[in-house]
Chain A
Amino acid sequence: MSDHTVKSYDEELAHLTNIIARMGGMAEAQFASALQALSKRDSDLAARVVAGDTRVDELEHEVQQFTVRLLALRQPVASDLRHIVAALKIGAELERVADYAANVAKRSLVLNQLPPVKPVSAVLHLAHLVQEILKDILDAYIERDVEKAIRVWNRDEEVDDLYTGLFRELITYMMEDPRTITACTHLMFMAKNIERIGDHATNIAETLHFLVVGTPIKGERPKGNTVDTE
């Protein structure tokens, strides 16, 4: 798309994309650190993740203020309007992602007080898939790549399947050794948080599609055999 006749408008729209990119990078980093804190049983790192959540919140505020300003002063239409509305929505999604990362970190603080349990590795396996998806959708956002967004959107099924398997594994483990129930219950909530991060990546994919194409993604997403555990 060519430039606006009014240059400062282009700069403002670019600035909005930049804040989102920074927020995305921060949410990714928070998530990665939370997972490292879990795998390394690193309570210091977990505490830093919990404390770091406010920075993501601050950025979301910045997105909100900036979009309201753009809406009021520029009265955007068409692709500009979609760009601005999408930034507002994606900002909110990323804030949730960072929240879940902080939750994972909080629970790993508790886990570190308990003896280690084996299913941690299965939770990390799920988390790595979700990390990949989150990275892809953030790249897709920067590149305005709809094809990539659709691929991300379709991968939510993989996350659901993996989550369902993990859920069964945790139950089996707890039945075999009831002493692990406390730790495994925390893991179960962590897994749920991580699965939710995947859902937010999917929401971003939908918003990105709307941003670029102007219409919702077509067709029902193939749903895995999910057990609703909320």
Chain B
Amino acid sequence: MNAIPVTQPSLSKVSARDVNVYYGQKHALKHVDLDIRPNDVTALIGPSGCGKSTFLRCINRMNDLIDNAQVTGLLTLDGDDVYDRNIDVVQLRARVGMVFQKPNPFPKSIYDNVAYGPRIHGMARDQAELDEIVMGSLEKAGLLAEVKDRLEETGTGLSGGQQQRLCIARAIAVAPEVILMDEPCSALDPIATAKVEELIDELRENFTIVIVTHSMQQAARVSQRTAFFHLGELVEVGDTEQIFTNPQHPLTQGYITGRFG
């Protein structure tokens, strides 16, 4: 195994070592070594098609759902091999939640959207406990005040920004440890974006967050660590401040300053 100690493994929540992803013949992710620290927001940046979403999907084995996708290398969550044959994938996805680019609430009530996961995982013994989880998650997602009088209305009737916070509430309802976000603000206006960013900052206290974003300003605002991908390779990873003031690799420099050929 090609184990480069990027940071001490004991300090990382998620750790990738020589991770490769192939879609059929296409080598989409190449020899990625990356450590995600607990309670950090890690931003993944890079040009379209560089493999950001692919890497994100490795962490909760969403690539398993893609027919021709093949993953090699070692990916660990708290030191445990995510691709171990004995791992329960449903359980894994409860530990590693995901929020997508387009808000995708189920065509159900606001309440049921959030209650969905806890019900599946049998997290509540009775209605009172379930209420508590749903209200708590809506509260943490900064949405409760806006929806508390309309919990039975359908989630798809909310505004885009509210829908995205509903999806975040849904993700945190199952008490995950890691939340993956793939361009969560790309469909939102600046105010809704600011609310989600503020929320990300608060969630950091209890969760580890990995976010893919095409907005350099967003990466700079919300993350502590930034990883830059290019053509399937991890080019540079560092403290966000360093990446945005003094990137070490010319490709990083070129990308973030808008000088890409």
Give 1 or 0 for each of A44-57: 1 = CB within 8 Å of chain B CB. Answer: 00000000000000
Q: A2-B254, A78-B253 are in contact. Are A215 and B259 (CB under 8 A)?
A: no
Q: Is A176 an interface residue (CB 8 A)?
A: no
| Nearest CB of B to A76, in Å | 7
Query: Which residues of B sit under 8 angstroms from A14, Cβ to Cβ?
Result: none
Q: Which one of B246, B247, B254, B256 has the highest number of Cβ atoms from chain A below 10 Å of its Cβ?
A: B246
**A6→B258 contact, CB < 8 A:** yes
Give 1 or 0 for each of B47-82: 1 = CB within 8 Å of chain A CB. Answer: 000000000000000000000000000000000000
Measured in the bound complex, the distance between the Cα atoms of B217 and A20 in whole Å is 28
With CB as the reference atom, state the residue of chain B lying closest to A82: B245
**B258→A78 contact, CB < 8 A:** no
Q: Is B244 an interface residue (CB 8 A)?
A: yes
Query: Which residues of B sit under 8 angstroms from A1, Cβ to Cβ?
Result: 253, 259
B interface residues with partner A (beta carbon < 8 Å):
216-217, 220, 244-247, 252-254, 256-261
Query: Which 5 interchain pairs have the tightest Cβ spacing?
Result: A214-B246, A77-B244, A80-B257, A77-B256, A4-B258
Query: Which residues of B sit under 8 angstroms from A189, Cβ to Cβ?
Result: none
| Nearest CB of B to A13, in Å | 10
Q: A75-B217, A77-B216, A79-B253 are in contact. Are A9 and B258 (CB under 8 A)?
A: yes
Q: Is A3 an interface residue (CB 8 A)?
A: yes
Query: Which residues of A sit under 8 angstroms from B245, Cβ to Cβ?
Result: 77-78, 81-82, 214
Measured in the bound complex, the distance between the Cα atoms of B32 and A6 in whole Å is 31
Interface of B is mostly: helix
**A4→B246 contact, CB < 8 A:** no
**B216→A3 contact, CB < 8 A:** no
Measured in the bound complex, the distance between the Cα atoms of B245 and A214 in whole Å is 7
A77-B244, A79-B253 are known contacts; what are 11 more A-B pairs with Cβ within 8 Å?
A2-B261, A3-B259, A4-B259, A5-B258, A5-B260, A6-B258, A77-B245, A78-B244, A78-B247, A78-B256, A214-B245
| Nearest CB of B to A53, in Å | 34
Measured in the bound complex, the distance between the Cα atoms of B246 and A134 in whole Å is 27
Pairs A–B under 8 Å by Cβ, sample size 12? A5-B260, A77-B216, A77-B220, A77-B244, A77-B245, A77-B256, A78-B253, A78-B256, A78-B257, A79-B257, A81-B245, A82-B246
**A77→B257 contact, CB < 8 A:** yes
Query: Which residues of A sit under 8 angstroms from B252, Cβ to Cβ?
Result: 78
Q: A75-B217, A77-B256 are in contact. Are A215 and B246 (CB under 8 A)?
A: yes
Query: Which residues of A sit under 8 angstroms from B220, Cβ to Cβ?
Result: 77
Measured in the bound complex, the distance between the Cα atoms of B156 and A44 in whole Å is 80
